[in-house]
């Protein structure tokens, strides 16, 4: 037994580094007004996600799930422009996909309570830091619940083909919301049962910074500067 | 000393059974009653996690006058569903959470956490993600989380229903050690035979609090479907980052057969069921249902936690499409009205499990897989599940049943396999 076990970091990227990198990527892709300029930002987002999450299949699944949203937003923008700006379709698709890949750093690269520990180490109040950590726990559960919900709906014949996952978004969303609410209730009871008090709560261990965290911020900041200046 | 005086749990209008008891330090008392009799609510009320009438005293002090942090360090609650207790993503972190919330010194918290994991046989899994644990391993983890604070009162809610025999022994020993140190244990169970340790006394709850869930009968199909043949040859599968779990799965099962699966926690029973129903894709090997890959709705899987299967608010909402499709009999007006006013959220855990199995069996799948279908069920509900299994098989389904309830598996199965080393070994 060693106190070294209290120094082990679970997050693949430091939660603060992930937050900064995602914010920079989001800003960069929002600044870009052209498809060609958006491509390097998306590529950066993809590379950071691949190096952090290390599961290409997972990234592909989420990119596909958000494909209809990107296309839908693009189509809406195209129609709103009076049918004159067709380039809005790929541009908005790239924006959505870039955000999805960037968000994966936070969703899959960061351990929920280490996010709370990191925020607390910045001097933020315990109730705020722990709320963000708990919200992250619920997010992770909802991501897992989505697969369970889809499997359940397939079992009941409500989703008979992969296409139905796109066309029956309403049914999936309703089931997912119900499952997420139930999950939130369970987490709340679990925290209460284990004596959690956000006002008194103190992190039990530090979350060390590593070279990769710094590199991720530098890469995201470089892309942001290029997008802002060019 | 734990003293319960005229204790009744309350949830809105509903009131649980009245319980009176004086439980001495270092005693084990069983709270026995069928599904829906109010065991869980009573334990939650004792833990101060649910409204109540009457009084709960610990060493002569009324629960409501104990400050929150002291209360939580002295009273631990172990829920039946382990997933409802977990707040972290790694095994060691999960056990550390309790001491951390109670402000314990980090070194002491770590020492106790590792000891608690050792006690339930999970020391080697300390740095694993929680999602890599099986249902039974999660129940052991939750027990470690509850013991880590050395509580004076331990409330256990049928928390060994998915645990294998080694795990039950480990949990019984861990509770036994706590009892020797003076912990008072109140353990709820629907069947005394399932208790992992011998109680000093028993509190029996009345049997008539929840009405039996009445469901229309399943209809026999007019057109006979082709006879299902499920074949698996050399199937291999592993989760990312967790190594290969299924190493060589071979099975041939025909329509009308009930295949039972047992095996220790984490051996891959759930994964095998998900593969055989097409929810997971084999990484190698051949898996065919009548010549093509099994997939819903031809093959259906009931998970250990069946709640995601419910997408409607009421029982009738779930049944209506089945009546319309003539898969189940149309209920008479009285039963229909009863089902319409029964929200699924108001059903007990046992009734929800029975309803989930019924909803899947009614769809007459070629393959029906039930994962721990009798976990936490009383004898009446376990018999209902047994009847559904036999009915589904008689209507031409291949039924796969995975459970630690070996007597149930043996009673319903034509063949029983043990999942061992990533393979199916016929017993």
End-to-end CA gap in chain B = 47
- Quote the minimal CA–CA distance from B153 to chain A in Å: 13
> Do B227 and B129 form a contact (C-beta atoms < 8 A)?
no
Q: Tell me whether residues A194 and B72 touch, CB distance under 8 A.
A: yes
CATH classification (class only), B229-426: alpha beta
Residues of B within 8 A of A57 (CB-CB) are 240
CA A143-A148-A152 angle, 5° bins? 145
The pLDDT of residue B44 is above 90: yes
> Do B58 and B66 form a contact (C-beta atoms < 8 A)?
yes
Each domain of chain A, given as residue ranges in start order, spans 13-110+207-230, 112-199
Q: Tell me whether residues B88 and A156 touch, CB distance under 8 A.
A: no
Which is it for the CA torsion B265, B90, B349, B44, positive or negative? positive
> Do B424 and B417 form a contact (C-beta atoms < 8 A)?
yes
The interface pTM score, or ipTM, of the predicted complex is: 0.84
pLDDT band at B97 (very low <50, low <70, confident <90, very high): very high
Of all residues in chain A, the one with the smallest CA distance to B98 is A194
Q: What is the pTM of this model?
A: 0.82
* Runs of H (alpha helix) within A54-125: 56-65, 67-80, 88-109, 112-121
- Per-residue model confidence (pLDDT) at position B367: 93
Topology of domain B2-204, CATH: Rossmann fold (3.40.50)
- Per-residue model confidence (pLDDT) at position B224: 59
Residues of A within 8 A of B309 (CB-CB) are 152, 155-156
The pLDDT of residue B209 is above 80: no
| Centroid of chain to Cα B340 | 27
Which helix (DSSP H) or strand (DSSP E) does residue B423 occupy?
strand B423-426
The pLDDT of residue A75 is above 80: yes
d(CA A5, CA B90): 12
d(CA B3, CA B23): 6
* Chain B interface includes A55 (CB < 8 A): yes
- Quote the minimal CA–CA distance from A194 to chain B in Å: 5
User: In the beta sheet, which residues pair with residue B233?
Assistant: B286
- Per-residue model confidence (pLDDT) at position B152: 92
The 10 Å Cβ neighbour count of residue A39 is 14
Tell me the three state secondary structure of residue B5: strand
The two domains B2-204 and B229-426 share their CATH topology (first three levels equal):
yes
Each domain of chain B, given as residue ranges in start order, spans 2-204, 229-426
Which helix (DSSP H) or strand (DSSP E) does residue A164 occupy?
helix A164-167
DSSP B332: P
Question: What does B363-384 look like in DSSP terms, one character per residue?
Answer: T--SEEEEESTTTT--HHHHHH
Sequence-ordered strand ranges (E) for B71-228:
75-78, 153-157, 184-189, 201-204
Dump pLDDT digits (tens) for B348-385.
788 899 999 999 999 888 999 999 999 888 888 899 99
> Do B75 and B103 form a contact (C-beta atoms < 8 A)?
no
Cβ contacts of residue A135 below 8 Å, gap of 6+? none
d(CA B256, CA B222): 17
Residues of A within 8 A of B114 (CB-CB) are 1, 5
Question: Chain A 199-218, CB below 8 Å of chain B: which residues?
Answer: 200-205
Dump pLDDT digits (tens) for A13-58.
999 999 999 999 999 999 988 898 899 999 999 999 999 988 898 8
């Amino acid at each position: 037994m060693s106190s070294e076990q209290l120094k082990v970091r679970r997050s693949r990227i430091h939660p603060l580094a992930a937050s900064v990198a995602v914010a920079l990527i989001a800003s960069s892709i929002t600044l870009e007004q052209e498809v060609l300029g958006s491509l390097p930002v998306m590529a950066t987002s993809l590379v950071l996600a691949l190096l952090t999450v290390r599961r290409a299949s997972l990234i592909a699944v989420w990119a596909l799930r958000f494909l209809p949203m990107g296309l839908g937003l693009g189509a809406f923008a195209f129609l709103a422009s009076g049918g004159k700006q067709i380039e809005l379709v790929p541009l908005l698709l790239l924006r959505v996909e870039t955000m999805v890949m960037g968000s994966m750093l936070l969703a899959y690269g960061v351990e929920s309570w280490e996010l709370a520990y990191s925020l607390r180490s910045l001097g933020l109040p315990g109730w705020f830091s722990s709320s963000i950590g708990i919200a992250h726990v619920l997010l992770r559960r909802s991501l897992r619940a989505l697969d369970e919900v889809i499997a359940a709906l397939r079992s009941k014949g409500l989703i008979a083909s992969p296409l139905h996952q796109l066309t029956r978004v309403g049914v999936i969303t309703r089931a997912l919301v119900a499952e997420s609410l139930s999950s939130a209730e369970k987490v709340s009871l679990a925290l209460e049962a284990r004596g959690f008090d956000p006002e008194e709560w103190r992190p039990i261990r530090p979350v060390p910074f590593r070279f990769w965290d710094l590199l991720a911020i530098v890469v995201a900041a470089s892309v942001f500067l290029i997008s802002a200046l060019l | 000393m734990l003293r319960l005086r005229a204790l009744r749990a309350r949830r809105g209008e509903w009131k649980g059974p009245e319980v009176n008891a004086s439980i001495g330090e270092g005693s084990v008392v069983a709270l026995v009653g069928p599904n829906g009799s109010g065991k869980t609510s009573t334990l939650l009320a004792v833990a101060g996690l649910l409204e109540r009438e009457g009084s709960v005293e610990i060493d002569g002090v009324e629960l409501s006058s104990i400050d929150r942090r002291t209360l939580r360090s002295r009273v631990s609650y172990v829920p039946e569903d382990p997933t409802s207790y977990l707040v972290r993503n790694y095994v060691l972190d999960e056990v550390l959470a309790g001491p951390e919330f109670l402000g314990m010194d980090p070194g002491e918290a770590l020492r106790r956490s590792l000891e608690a994991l050792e006690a339930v046989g999970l020391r080697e899994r300390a740095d694993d993600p929680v999602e890599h644990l099986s249902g039974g391993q999660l129940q052991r983890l939750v027990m470690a989380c509850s013991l880590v604070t050395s509580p004076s009162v331990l409330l256990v809610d049928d928390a060994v229903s998915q645990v294998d025999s080694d795990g039950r022994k480990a949990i019984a020993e861990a509770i036994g050690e706590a009892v020797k140190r003076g912990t008072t244990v109140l353990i709820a169970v629907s069947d005394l035979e399932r208790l992992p340790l011998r109680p000093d006394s028993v509190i029996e709850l009345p049997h008539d609090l929840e009405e039996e869930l009445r469901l229309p009968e399943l209809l026999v199909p007019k057109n006979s479907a082709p006879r299902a043949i499920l074949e698996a040859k050399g199937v291999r599968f592993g989760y990312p980052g967790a190594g290969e779990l299924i190493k060589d799965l071979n099975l041939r099962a025909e329509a009308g057969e009930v295949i039972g699966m047992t095996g220790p926690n984490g051996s891959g029973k759930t994964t095998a069921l998900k593969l055989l129903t097409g929810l997971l894709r084999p990484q190698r090997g051949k898996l065919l249902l009548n010549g093509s890959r099994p997939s819903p709705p031809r093959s259906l899987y009931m998970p250990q936690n069946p709640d995601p299967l419910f997408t409607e608010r009421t029982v009738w909402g779930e049944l209506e499409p089945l009546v319309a499709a003539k898969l189940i009999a149309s209920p008479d007006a009285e039963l229909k009205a009863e089902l319409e006013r029964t929200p699924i959220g108001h059903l007990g855990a046992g009734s929800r499990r029975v309803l989930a199995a019924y909803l899947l069996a009614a769809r007459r799948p070629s393959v029906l897989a039930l994962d721990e279908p009798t976990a936490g069920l009383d004898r009446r509900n376990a018999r209902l599940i047994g009847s559904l299994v036999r009915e589904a098989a008689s209507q031409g389904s291949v039924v796969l049943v995975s459970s630690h309830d070996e007597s149930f598996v043996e009673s319903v199965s034509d063949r029983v396999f043990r999942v061992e080393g990533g393979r199916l070994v016929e017993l």
